[in-house]
């Protein structure tokens, strides 16, 4: 003959089952909350990084930067001022040619570019489409340095953001190499660039005679 279970054991068992159900319920709530948070955060980020407006590529100018430098030198002008709009035109040509030479960059599917001339710095805005239906605004900040001795213009990446979200530079080491431009090949042998003043909205280039001739 089986003895009936003790009432206290039955009560403890019922309480244990209740606690287990409550734990499972709370765990399920936490999982659902985290899932919704991830989905909500991902959706917000998706819309946040979208460009505010398309920028595309600037129209091709009537003349290229190298030939303009040669023309100014031939006319014996001491200075030339390049506006932000002109800078964008020349840079668009250069970047589109560079993208053709770098097939590994095709995955980013660059849709356009815009450059803001700041005080001794460039703010380069790129519109990317790495996947269908996903557009993103990406900024690269380049410090401008000019060496009269070597006639070299150096643009060094100093910061990167996904729209306004800072990106750790260690994630983008391949993009951190400075861009170097030697202007001697664009100028007559007797002419050199004495100075480049990078100002907000424009650049001013001053010419002079080569010191080593």
Q: Which residue has the higher pLDDT, 109 or 132?
A: 109
What single string gives the DSSP state of each residue in 99-147? Answer: HHH-GGGGGG-EEEEEEEEETTEEEEEEEEEEETTEEEEEEEEEEEEEE
pLDDT for residue 1 is more than 70? no
pLDDT for residue 180 is more than 70? yes
Averaged pLDDT, 116-127: 91
**What ranges in the chain are assigned the alpha helix state H?**
7-48, 65-74, 84-101
Lowest mean pLDDT among 12-16, 25-29, 68-72: 12-16
Averaged pLDDT, 128-140: 84
Averaged pLDDT, 198-204: 90
Averaged pLDDT, 151-171: 85
pLDDT for residue 189 is more than 90? no
Best-predicted range by mean pLDDT (6-20, 44-58, 127-141): 127-141
Task: Provide the β-strand partners of residue 117.
Answer: 122
User: What confidence tier does 115 reach under pLDDT thresholds 50, 70, 90?
Assistant: very high
pLDDT of residue 187: 78
Residue 13 CA to its chain's centroid (Å): 61
Averaged pLDDT, 49-67: 71
What digits encode the pLDDT tens for the residues 80-106? Answer: 888 898 888 888 888 888 888 877 777
Nearest residue to 123 (alpha-carbon basis) of 110, 108, 142, 109: 142
pLDDT of residue 10: 46
């Amino acid at each position: 003959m089986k003895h009936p279970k003790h009432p206290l054991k039955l009560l403890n068992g019922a309480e244990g089952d209740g606690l287990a159900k409550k734990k499972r319920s709370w765990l399920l709530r936490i999982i659902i909350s985290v899932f919704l948070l991830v989905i909500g955060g991902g959706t917000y980020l998706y819309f946040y990084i979208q460009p505010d407006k398309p920028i595309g590529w600037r129209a091709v100018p009537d003349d290229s930067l190298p030939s303009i430098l040669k023309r100014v030198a031939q006319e014996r002008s001491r200075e030339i001022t390049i506006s932000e709009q002109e800078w964008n035109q020349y840079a668009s040509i250069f970047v589109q040619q560079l993208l053709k030479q770098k097939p590994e960059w095709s995955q980013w599917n660059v849709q356009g570019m815009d450059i803001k001339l700041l005080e001794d710095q460039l703010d380069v805005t790129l519109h990317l489409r790495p996947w269908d239906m996903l557009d993103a605004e990406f900024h690269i900040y380049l410090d401008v340095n000019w060496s009269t001795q070597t006639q070299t213009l150096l643009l060094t990446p100093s910061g990167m953001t996904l729209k306004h979200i800072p990106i750790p530079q260690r994630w983008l080491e391949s993009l951190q190499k400075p861009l170097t431009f030697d202007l001697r090949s664009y100028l007559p042998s007797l002419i050199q660039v004495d100075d480049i003043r990078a100002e907000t909205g424009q650049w001013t280039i001053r010419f002079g005679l080569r010191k080593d001739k």
